[in-house]
Chain A
Amino acid sequence: MSRRVDHVKAARTFIQDEPHIKFHDQRLWGLRQLRDGQAHGIAEWEQLRELASQIKEHTLSHLGDYLEQFERNATANGVIVHWAADAAEHNRIVHEILSAQAVTLLVKSKSMLTEECEMRPYLEARGIAVVETDLGERIQQLDHEMPSHIVVPAVHKLRGDVAQVFAENIGTDPTNDDPAYLAEGMRQDTRPYFLKAGAGMTGCNFAVAETGSVVVCTNEGNADLSANVPPLHIASIGIEKLIPRQSDLGVFIRMLSRSALGSPITQYTSHFRAPKAGGAMHFILVDNGRSARLAMDDFWYSLKCIRCGACMNTCPVYRRSGGLSYGGVYAGPIGAIINPTFDLKKYSALPFASTLNGSCSNVCPVKINIHEQIYKWRQIVAEQGELGFIKKESMKLAGKVLADPKRYRAFSEGSNRAIDTLPRALLYNPFNAWGKQRELPTPAAQTFHQWYAAQRKEQADE
Chain B
Amino acid sequence: MSSRDAILAAVRARQPAARALPEVPLFDAEYAGDLVPRFAMALEKMGGRWLDADASVPLATQIRLLYPSAQRFCSAVAGMDGFASPGADAAALANVDVGIVQAAFGVAETGSLFLSEHEYGNNALGYLAQHLLVLLHPTQLVGNLHQAYQRPEWRSARYAALVTGPSATADIEGVLIRGAQGVRSLTVLALANP
Contact = CB atoms under 8 A, between A and B. Distances in A.
Given A83-B3, A273-B160, A268 B146 contact: no
Contacts of B32: none
A443 interface: no
Interface string B106-142: 0001111000010000011011100000000000000
Given A135-B172, A136-B171, A264-B109, 7 more contacts: A83-B4, A154-B171, A221-B181, A265-B162, A267-B182, A272-B158, A287-B7
29 contacts: A23-B173, A44-B27, A54-B20, A58-B21, A60-B16, A62-B15, A83-B3, A135-B171, A136-B171, A153-B171, A155-B174, A179-B172, A179-B177, A180-B175, A183-B180, A195-B91, A219-B169, A224-B126, A224-B161, A261-B170, A264-B109, A267-B167, A268-B167, A270-B159, A273-B158, A274-B158, A276-B158, A294-B14, A294-B15
A61 B21 CA distance: 10
B150 to A, nearest CB: 7
A195 B94 contact: yes
Contacts of B45: 264
Contacts of A182: 172
A268 B128 contact: no
A230 B124 CA distance: 10
B71 to A, nearest CB: 17
A85 interface: yes
A274 B124 CA distance: 16
Contacts of B172: 135, 139, 154, 157, 159, 162, 179, 182-183
A251 B162 contact: no
Given A54-B20, A254-B144, A285-B7, A265 B91 contact: no
B80 interface: no
Interface residues of A, number: 90
A158 interface: yes
A280 interface: no
A220 B167 contact: yes
A361 interface: no
Interface in A155-190: 155, 157-159, 162, 179-180, 182-183, 187, 190
A84 B2 CA distance: 10
In the complex, the 5 A-B pairs of residues with the closest C-beta atoms, listed nearest first: A221-B182, A221-B167, A136-B171, A220-B180, A250-B146
A254 B90 CA distance: 31
B10 interface: yes
Contacts of B150: 247
B161 A268 contact: yes
B167 A85 contact: no
B152 to A, nearest CB: 12
A43 B161 CA distance: 26
Contacts of B161: 224, 268-271
Interface of A: 23, 27, 30, 43-44, 51, 54-55, 57-58, 60-64, 67-68, 71, 77, 83-85, 89, 133-136, 139, 152-155, 157-159, 162, 179-180, 182-183, 187, 190-191, 194-195, 211, 219-222, 224-225, 227-230, 239, 244, 246-251, 253-254, 261, 263-278, 285, 287, 291-292, 294-295, 300
A24 to B, nearest CB: 10
Interface of B: 2-4, 6-8, 10-22, 24-25, 27, 30, 42, 45-47, 88, 90-91, 94, 109-112, 117, 123-124, 126-128, 144-146, 148-150, 154, 157-175, 177, 179-183
Given A85-B6, A182-B172, A229-B128, A268 B159 contact: no
B153 to A, nearest CB: 11
Contacts of A271: 154, 157, 159-161
A45 B123 CA distance: 34
B42 to A, nearest CB: 7
A249 B149 contact: yes
Nearest to A293: B14
A291 B14 CA distance: 7
